[in-house]
């Protein structure tokens, strides 16, 4: 037989060896975790029940599932040993102190867009008009506003835009339906 015909078998045996090796490592970690259980630690069973360890023996664990409820489980049925913070968060709903975290994301984007006070004060002085203007109105506007007072020019354009919108709605335009 040539080496080429044996190559698939060699690769298959190597893959099986690696898979069994990683499974043995996980199994050994689970055994170590179960052996480190102490009375008072919080656990989750493989069935999903959360309880506190009361007693640990060679093959069994006595769990306190609530006031007056003690259950005897096999050690193999313990899925995870939880930290005190994690157990309190899940069972009692007690969150850890968020103020101790250094990097906190702000609730709104205003802190991300703010600049120093001098530039923001200058930008707040002039009102911004976002109204839509037709090209015909803008050509006639300088001639009409030359006779009017400069303070009224901005308010007249805004009033015209509001009356145009109200007229469209009252005439039964698409917005009124």
Q: What's the residue count for the chain? A: 177
The model carries a pTM of: 0.45
- Beta strands 78-82 and 69-74 are unpaired
Question: H or E segment at 144?
Answer: helix 135-147
Edge-to-edge, what's the strand order for the sheet holding 42-45?
69-74, 60-66, 50-56, 42-45, 78-82
Q: What is the pLDDT of residues 91-131, one digit of tens each?
A: 888 776 555 555 666 666 666 666 655 555 555 667 777 88
The strand pairing partners of 64, in sequence order, are 52, 70
HEC sequence for 6-60: HHHHHHHHHHHHHHHHHHHHHHHHHHHHHHCCCCCCEEEECCCCEEEEEEECCCE
Q: What is the pLDDT of residues 28-50, one digit of tens each?
A: 888 888 888 889 989 999 999 99
Q: What is the pLDDT of residues 58-68, one digit of tens each?
A: 899 999 988 89
């Amino acid at each position: 037989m040539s080496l080429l015909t044996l190559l698939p078998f060699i690769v298959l045996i190597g893959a099986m060896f690696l898979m069994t090796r990683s499974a043995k490592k996980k199994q050994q970690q689970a055994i170590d975790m179960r052996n480190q259980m102490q009375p008072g630690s919080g656990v989750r069973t493989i069935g999903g029940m959360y309880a506190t360890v009361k007693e640990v023996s060679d093959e069994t664990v006595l769990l306190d599932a609530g006031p007056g409820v003690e259950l005897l489980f096999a050690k193999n049925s313990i899925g995870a040993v939880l930290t005190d913070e994690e157990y309190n968060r899940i069972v009692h709903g007690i969150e850890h102190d968020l103020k101790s975290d250094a990097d906190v994301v702000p609730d709104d984007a205003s802190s991300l867009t703010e600049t120093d006070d001098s530039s923001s004060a200058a930008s707040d002085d002039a009102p911004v008009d976002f109204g839509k203007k037709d090209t015909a109105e803008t050509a006639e506007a300088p001639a009409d506003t030359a006779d009017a007072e400069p303070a009224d020019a901005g308010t007249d354009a805004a009033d015209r835009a509001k009356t145009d919108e109200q007229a469209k709605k009252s005439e039964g335009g698409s917005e009124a339906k």
